[in-house]
Each structure stands twice: as C-alpha cells, then as structure tokens.
Amino acid sequence: MNSKEYEIEYFKEEGFIRKKCKKCDSHFWTRDKDRDICGDAPCEIYSFIGRPIFEERSVEEVREAFLSFFEHCSHKHTRMKRYPVVARWRDDIYLNIASIANFQPLVTSGKVAPPANPLVISQPCIRLEDLESIGKTGRHLTMFEMMGHHAFNKRGEEEIYWKNETVKYCDEFLRQLGVDMNSITYKEAPWVGGGNAGPCLEVITNGLELATLVFMDLKLSPRGNGEISLNGQRYNKMDTYIVDTGYGLERFVWASKGTPTVYDAIFPGIIAELVDAAGIEHPMEKHSDTMAKIASLSGTMSSGEIAKRLNITPEFIKNILKPMESIYAVADHSKCLAFMLADGIVPSNAKEGYLVRLVLRRAFRMLKALGIEMPLEDIILTQIKTLRRSFPELQNAGDRVVEIVSLEHRRYGETLSKGERIVRQKAREWKQKGEQKIPLDTLINLYDTYGLPPEFVKEVATEQESGMDVQVDIPENFYSLVASMHSGEEKKGNEEPFAEKMEEKTKTIPATKKLYYEEPSAVEFKATVLDVICGALPHDPASPVKAYDSVVLDRTLFFPEGGGQPADTGILTIKDESRALNVVDVQEVDGVILHKIENGGISKGAVVSGHIDTERRIAHTRHHSATHIVVCAARKVLGGHVWQAGAQKGEKRARIDITHFKRISDIERREIEVLANRMVMENKDIIARFEDRNEAERKYGFGIYQGGVPPGEKIRIVRIGADEDVQACAGTHCSKTGEVGPIKILRTERIQDGIERIEYSAGEAAVEAMQAREELIRKSASTLKVPYEKLPVAVERFFDEWKQLRKENERLRTEIAELRIGSLKEHAKEISGVRVIAAVIPDADTKEMMKIASPLSKDNFLTILIGKREKHAAVVASVPAYLKDEIDASVLVKQVCEVLGGSGGGKAEIAQGGGERVEKVEEAMKEGLRMLEKKLRNRMK
C-alpha cells in the first residue's frame, strides 16, 4: 500500500519517525529514535510479564475508562449497548466477530445510516478460528470484548473525523492509562476483509498488540479492474470511508496485571476452582520463574522451541503445563458458552448451533481428561455470576443453560458409547484397503456426522489388543478447521437465482406501487402495463419447462412470493377486451413486481383491471398472522431462545420451524395452542407500518429479524397487541387477531437436531381440520362399536389383545421353525465337504426364514432359503463362521435376487433380500447353487 496513506499529521506534530523493522521488514512509527524493531511479536518478546505496563485495572475499570474517554472527547461519541454474539442481523455469518460486524453490510455500504455517528461500544465477540491455541499460547481467547470507536464518513459530506483524530485519540487514551509513550509503536499493516480493505495501524507496546486502527475506504472490484492493487486483488474507493477500531479489552487488563497469561488476568477465580477440582497445583506456586519465562517467549516462538530453549523436561510439560492448558481452555470456553447460550443459540448439527456444540464438547472432553467432576453447567453459572454487573441479562438464562448443558452432556456420553462400534468398523474398512492410517477427511466426517472427537477415534483405532492398530494423526488445527467450515452461510450452487437473472431486465423500470399494503382489504384494481418481459421462466424449478411472459404494472394488489408466503394468483383483464389473462405467479426484483401470465398477448401501455383470488389471499393472510401468534406463544411456553428457522404458509395449513433443544411434549403443544387461541380471542390489534431500521432495532431489539433480514433503511414492522410480538415482515396480515379465527396445531415433529416443526391450520382451514379429526374418531368408534368417550379404553383393550396374539404368533413361528430345521437337516446335501441346505419354503417370510437360517449356520450348515408367496419371493442365506472369509452371504443373496428381479444385502454371515418374479424361484435357486458349487470347488483346489 502507498506509504502516503500513513503520512498522518499527528505523527509529524508528535515527532514520530517512520522506520523499517530489521527483523520483519515492516514499517512502523515511533517516538524512540533508537528503536530498530517494530515491537510486535515475534520480533520482540513480552516484556510486561511480571512488569505491568500501567496501574492494575479490572475488566470493568478498563471498559468504563474507554467508553467514558470517547463519550467526553472532542468528538462526543454515543455509547452503544452491546449487540448479541449471534449475528441475527446478518445472513452471511453466524457469530459476531468484531464490533464493525454490528454495522455490516448495510451501514458500511452507506445504504443505511448508522445508529449514531460517531459511536463507541464494547462488543463481546466470538472467534473460533484459533480454537487449538486456546490455553496454549497464553493470549488467544474464543470470547473477547472488542472496544471500538467508529466514525462513518461519506464522500461529499462533512467529515466526522479520519486518520489524524483516530491516532490522536489512541495516543491520548494510552497516555491517560499511564503507558510509557516512548514504548508505543504504530505498525503499518494493510487490512483486507469481507470485500473491503484499507490502511491499518497496529498499536503495540512491550511486545503486545493492544489495538488495531483500520481506515476502511476500499471495496473489491467485481470485475478485477480496480484502480488500487492490494494482495493480488484490485480495489476501488468506497462511497463511504470508515474509522474501524478494535481495542482488546482483555489485553489491556493483562497488560495492567503482568500475569503469565491473559487467562490468569481475566479468570483468576474460575482457574483457582478448576485447579482445586483437578487436584493439582497452579505452576505459579512453585514454578513462577519458569512460567514467567515461558510467558514472555510465548509470542515469539512455538511451545516446542520454548521447551528446548529453557530446557523444560517432558515430565514438566506433561504433568504441569498440559493440565494448565486445559484448565485455561475450560475457563475461556465456559465464558464463551455463557454468552452463546444466554443469547439464544441452541446446540444442533447446523449453523451457529453446530459451533456452540463444538465448544461444549471440547469442554466436556477436557474436564474428563482433567478428572474434574464439577458439571460444566456449574462452571458456566459461575461465569454468569461473575459477569452479572456488566451483563445482568445473562442471569435470565440460568435455568435454560443448566437444562441445555446437562442434556448435551448426556447426549455426548451416548454418542461416545455408540461411537466405538463406528470407529472399529471404519478402521477395519481401511485395513482391508491396505491402508494403515485414517485420512483427515474421514476424521472430519466422523466428527461432523457422528460427533466423535479425533482423540476418541485415535484411542479406539489404535488399540492393539482389539486388532485395530490403525494410525491416526490429528492435525493441531483440527477444531479450528472444523469451525471454519461452519462459520458462515454456505453459498448456493452455481445456478443463478431468479432475481439475479432478472435484475438486468428490470433495472430501468420504476418500482411498483404496492397496493396490497395501502389497501389490504381490496380485491380489484386498475393499472397500466409498464413493460412485458417475454420468455421468463417460472420461478419454481419444479414447474414444467414452459416460457411465460412477465407483466410489470405501475401498481398492483398481487402479493409477490416472499417470507414463506406464496404469491397471489388471479386474472388481468385488458381494457376494451373480453380476454382475461391468468396470473399464475408473482415475483419481486428490487422493488419491481413481475406478474407471470400463462396466456400472453398484452402490450406495453395497456390499461388492465386486476382481480386477485380472494379465498387464496385470505387463507394466506390468516396463516401468516397465525404464524406470528404461534411463534409468540411458543416463546412464552418453551423459552426466549426460540428462533424461527423456516416457515411456509399455504391455503389449508402452515408450518413454522423453530430452534429448540428437545422434543415439544404433548403438554407443551397443548399449552402453545391454548395461548395462541387466547391471543385470537382477545382480538388484539395487528399494526403494520414502515419504521426507521435503527429506531426499530433500538425499540424492539434484534428479535424483529425472526423471519429474515430485509434490506433498506426503512423496514416494515408488524406488531401484535402491546408489542407482544414484533417482527420485520413484508407479508399480508389481518388487522385484528380475531380475524385469524381458530388455530389448530396439527402436529409437531423434530425435523433435525435442534429444530422443531409446528404444523397448524387457521380460520376455516382449522375448522375443517378439526372436523376431519372428529370424523376419524366417529368412524373409529363406529368400527369398534363403542361410544366416543369409551374409545381410548376400547383401543387399549384391543391393543393389549393384539400384543398377546403377536406373542402367541411368535411362539408358533418358533415352533414351526424348529420343526422345519429338523426336516431340512435330513435333506441337506454335501458339496465339496460342506453341508448345504437349499430349499424353497411355501408362504415363508423373511423373519421366519431368519429364525431357521441362524441356528443352522451355528451347526455349520450353509443355507439358501427362498420363501415363495403369491406376489413376492423372499431370500435368506447364511454361512457358517468358519467359511465367512471365503463365501459372503450378501454376495450370494444378491446373485439369487437378481434372477428374481430384486436386490438384497447384509453381512458376510447372514443376508436377506427378495424380488417380484415369483415364477423364477426355481431358476433363482439353481443360480445360487451354481455359484456356491463353483466357490466351494475353488476352495478345494
């Protein structure tokens, strides 16, 4: 980057000198004319260990000093409350990774005004990219607070402030804390991230980077022809230019205490408890000198290099350093989990739920390795108690944290119990392939699919006594690698979305006036055709491949598909013509609404009358309002962690997917239904209006983004009652909850780990659903010839009788099988020294033949059995244990089933299958015997 970017007036005024580091060749600014290194690790060791940089301060004191400084400086900054650690306002990342992430992408792009300008915030952030380093380096954290002051400038407008003031403020804040100003260096380090870039200064003292000052003013050129080259890519200047600073709160506290690690500075109480629970001594008690030396070098070299330089014995590493690394990591992870769980993340196998489970299970494993029996949930509660003055909101989630963590611990134990068999199977597969090592992609798959940590896989796969002994190499960055794979929303396939295809065709067309907002009860309207786009494909890829014309009107009542609500349908009638055009789909592209008609023939400028399908619209409107009501009721019953994970509204029913950590019980389902209908009967107002985004976020919080993140400075907010439910929503809604009509929950189900689906009907559809269920009950009672009220007793009695008959049936099957075994043994024939039973058994099913084949194989008989029924033939084959390495029952069954027009499979000892070509039973048996004879003859050679 051009050196002129760093020629800042303040540096000149204060007598700073620009130098080049003799170790890393980076340029830096310093007041010290004798300094020849940049001061950053690894060029300089941590010289503050045991010698604090300034007077000791607590986390609360440093945070308040920073926020107050910027509130009262010449550019009075507005103090902002923290944002959640789960990035609800973003659709590209799951966790909040920096204070600037609060304002991306809408504010940073200039599309939306900042909530205040300038502003200051201390934002809890989570980054899992360095997960393996936690506890080892002494400085890495998963959960940290990024103190930042931000100024959002726009070209052509009055500047808030830029580089000069930013550096000046930094210098003044450090001076206020008591930092030796000659020890401070500002290292030039151009910043790149998220499609943006800009000059950057890293603020360093005593080997420790305390802050980063980013001057974001570049954006990546989409065509690669930008004016500025940086890191092999081309950039252009942004319309905005932004002061993006990050001061590490925990690092400032560490610098003020001079402890060997940042963990000792931030978590002294938790670490003391964990050390005591593990039955070990903190190394600072007996090895303070050694620990201080290790800490001072930790930023400059690896742990192996430090051990070699200080002559540290392997016993010291194993018995003292390694346990402390795990204790430090648990202390860090427990704080991270306190914020993740309190802010509403539910453990699952996807998105942010995957990441919280990753941290949970890493903490479980470390506690077990340390021999600490203290439940993880108790450690997290201790963190919440410690944090209560700064973050009182965390305490509201205490009960939920205990329930989730204890449930996850039980599930983790079940996972490991089942995992041993899975690992053994995988190890055998690799040994059979001649491989002596389980590859990395298999390790990742075992963790991703089955939740099996690589340490557990290694423990099982390398057991020599079990005959496994397969090599497992675990990369140091395994967990970081897995976390990075799940840190952001995956991009869809290569197929270009409908909106992107149409953008070029619609960019010159004015936005359509949305009458469905202005006149929500209207069903007819008049409009003028602004354009006709010929040959546009239907939005639904499942639709027949047929070209439709898309009509753009100046105004419309037709609601376009969005937010899980299907598009309106209806007709367009051309003025002075009797011909009606069927509107089969409606889509919106950047404010332009496209009406897809299946019988074309309309011209630009034509005047049309539109009529929407009223019944369809009313049904969708009721179901959309019902969705908000059901989610509101679910949050009241299940907890504040409930978050919408998907929705679909139809004419007869709707569904909502929500995050929840366990199955919804029948009692909870009924309670949700009662609460939802109570809201309906209370006939609360449903108010929809456009509001300023920042104001809406301030008033209602980020829960407004339950249904997704809409673009724009103004967003449509839908409120029910006295703000009982508030969401950003573009859908059609009733004006009162009473208009929704009755709500009937049809069923609930778990669609994936951590996601529950609630399916329901509203209005007339709910009445129809209840009537249908009533009819089922009536028919069932009629069939059993009992009154409605006695139906449960009658069903239970019939079920008990059925179970008794089933047991009797099983007993008779066993007796028949035993009788048949004796008869089959008598007709066995010998092939190449092997006793073989091959028989076609009329009316026998697979279960019956399995009962016959299993004991026969134990008696060293090889069997091929075919059960012949009217329309299906079942096949079972079994092989004695002494022959399973030479003859595979599954291969034998597949060969027989192929003749029968079916398939089969199983294990080497026993397999099953079948087919529909019953007439070829005898031919199939001959094929099986032919294959068997061939294999047995080869065995004798």
Over residues 243-301, the pLDDT tens digits come to: 999 999 999 999 999 999 999 999 999 999 999 999 988 877 676 777 777 777 666 66
Classify 191 as helix, strand or coil: strand
The residue among 191, 145, 151, 156 whose CA lies nearest residue 167 is 151
CB-based contacts of 423: which residues, under 8 Å, 6+ apart?
446, 452, 456, 457, 460, 461
Q: By three-state DSSP, how is residue 125 classified?
A: strand
User: DSSP E strands: which ranges in 667-802?
Assistant: 686-692, 714-720, 725-728, 743-752, 755-762
* 78's tokens: 């507005």
Which DSSP state fits 705? G
320-343: pLDDT as tens digits: 788 899 999 999 999 999 999 999
**Edge-to-edge, what's the strand order for the sheet holding 910-915?**
829-831, 834-842, 862-868, 873-878, 910-915, 903-906
**Would you place residue 496 in the very low, low, confident or very high pLDDT band (cuts 50, 70, 90)?**
very low
Look at residue 752 in the predicted model and tell me its pLDDT.
87
Q: pLDDT tens digits, residue range 158-181?
A: 999 999 999 999 999 999 999 999
Which pLDDT band, with edges at 50, 70 and 90, does 818 fall under? confident
167-218 per-position pLDDT tens digit: 999 999 999 999 999 999 999 999 987 778 999 999 999 999 999 999 999 9
Candidates 640, 663, 570; CA nearest to 609 is: 570
Phi, psi of 154 (to 5 degrees): -125, 135
When the pLDDT of each residue in the chain is averaged and rounded to a whole number, the result is: 89
CA distance 540 to 537: 9
pLDDT at 463: 65
pLDDT per position as a tens digit, 34-78 = 999 999 988 988 899 889 999 999 999 999 999 999 999 989 999
So what's the pLDDT on residue 580? 85
Check whether 878 has a pLDDT greater than 60.
Answer: yes
**Contact status, residue 766 vs residue 680, Cβ threshold 8 Å:** no
pLDDT surpassing 80 at residue 25: yes
Answer whether residue 464 shows pLDDT above 70: no
Least confident of 116-120, 310-314, 760-764, 837-841: 310-314
The pLDDT score that the predictor gives to residue 748 is 95
What is the pTM for the complete model shown?
0.82
Distance CA 334, CA 338 (A): 6
Q: Distance between CA 643 and CA 88 in Å, rounded?
A: 10
Structure tokens belonging to residue 145: 């607070």
**Percentage of residues in the chain having pLDDT higher than 70:** 95
Lowest mean pLDDT among 2-6, 11-15, 466-470: 466-470
Nearest Cα to 561, choosing from 572, 569, 550, 553? Answer: 569
Task: State mean pLDDT over 572-578.
Answer: 83
The two three-digit tokens of residue 529, written as one number: 């055709």
Residue written as tokens 């800490």?
295
Going by pLDDT thresholds of 50, 70 and 90, the confidence category of residue 940 is low
Can you tell me the distance from the alpha carbon of 645 to that of 661, in angstroms, rounded to the nearest whole number? 13
| Cβ count near 740 (within 10 Å) | 27
588: Cα separation from own chain's centroid: 28
Compute the average pLDDT of residues 479-503: 64
CA atoms within 13 A on the CB side of 810: 6
Cβ–Cβ < 8 Å for 359, 267: no
Q: Which amino acid is at 208?
A: L
Closest CA relative to residue 125, chosen from 168, 189, 82: 82
Residue 587 identity: Q
> Residue 750: helix, strand or coil by DSSP?
strand
**pLDDT over threshold 80, residue 702:** yes
Higher pLDDT, 368 or 490: 368
Burial 104-137 (b: 16+ CB within 10 A, else e): bbbbbebebebbbbbbbbbbbbbbbbbbbbbbbb
Q: Residue 494 — pLDDT band, cuts 50, 70, 90? A: very low
Predicted confidence at residue 299, as pLDDT, reads: 60
H-only helix segments in 752-844: 764-784, 791-826
Instruction: Give how far Cα 510 sits from Cα of 250, 454, 513, Å.
Output: 52, 57, 9
Looking only at the bridges linking them, the beta strands covering 184-188 and 27-30 are antiparallel
Cα–Cα distance list, 342 to 337, 383, 390, 392 (Å) = 8, 12, 14, 11
Residue 384 DSSP class? H
Q: Residues 901, 850: contact at Cβ < 8 Å?
A: no
**8-state DSSP, 317:** I
Backbone angles phi, psi at 38, to 5 degrees: -70, -20
Distances (CA, A) of 563 to 91, 264, 526, 647, 762: 14, 48, 26, 8, 18
Q: Buried (b) or exposed (e) across 710-733, using 16+ Cβ within 10 A?
A: beeeebbbbbbbeebbbbbbbbbb
Structure confidence by residue, pLDDT tens digits, 122-170:
999 999 988 888 988 889 999 999 999 999 999 999 999 999 999 999 9
> pLDDT at position 586, please?
94
Residue 859 has pLDDT above 60, yes or no: yes
Long-range contacts of 819-823 (CB under 8 A, 24+ apart): 820/852, 821/852, 821/855, 821/856
For the cut 80, the answer to whether the pLDDT of residue 797 exceeds it is yes
Tokens (6 digits) for 463: 């057991």
Contacts of 163 (CB under 8 A, 6+ apart): 8, 199, 215
DSSP codes, 245-313:
EEEEHHHHHHHHH--SSHHHHH-HHHHHHHHHHHT---HHHH-HHHHHHHHHHTTTS-HHHHHHHTT--
Q: Which of 80-94, 110-124, 433-447, 698-712 shows the lowest per-residue confidence on average (mean pLDDT)?
A: 433-447
pLDDT band at 545 (very low <50, low <70, confident <90, very high): very low
How many CB atoms neighbour CB 409 within 10 A?
A: 18
409 vs 400: CA distance, rounded Å: 14
Predicted confidence (pLDDT) at residue 468 exceeds the cutoff of 60: no
Nearest alpha-carbon partner for 177 in 46, 48, 293: 48
CA gap 758, 660 in Å, rounded: 11
> If pLDDT is split at 50, 70 and 90, which confidence band does 499 have?
low
Cross-strand bridge partners of residue 197: 192, 218
User: E-strand spans in 38-169?
Assistant: 78-79, 119-126, 143-154
**Residue 587, strand partner residues:** 594
Which class for 28: exposed (0-12), middle (13-18), buried (19 or more C-beta within 10 A)?
buried
Which has the higher per-residue pLDDT, 305 or 58?
58
Nearest to 878 by CA among 895, 855, 894: 855
The kind and range of the H/E element at 15 are none
3 state SS of 530:
strand
- pLDDT beyond 80 at 400: yes
Q: Are strands 119-126 and 78-79 parallel, antiparallel or unpaired?
A: parallel
Which letter does DSSP use for residue 738 in this model? Answer: G
The whole-number average pLDDT for the span 366-393 is 95
- Res. 110 pLDDT band, cuts 50 70 90: confident
SS3 letters across 884-921 = CCCCCHHHHHHHHHHHCCCEEEECCCEEEEEECCHHHH
Separation CA 188–CA 201 (nearest Å): 5
What phi, psi does 779 have (nearest 5°)? -65, -40
Can you read off the two tokens belonging to residue 933? 């004879």
The C-alpha angle with vertex 102 and arms to 100 and 106, in degrees rounded to 5, equals: 95
Torsion sign, CA atoms 773, 775, 778, 781: negative
* Cα–Cα distance, 284 to 293 (Å, whole number): 12
- At 838 the pLDDT is 92
Compute the distance between CA of residue 544 and CA of residue 298 in angstroms, rounded to an integer: 64
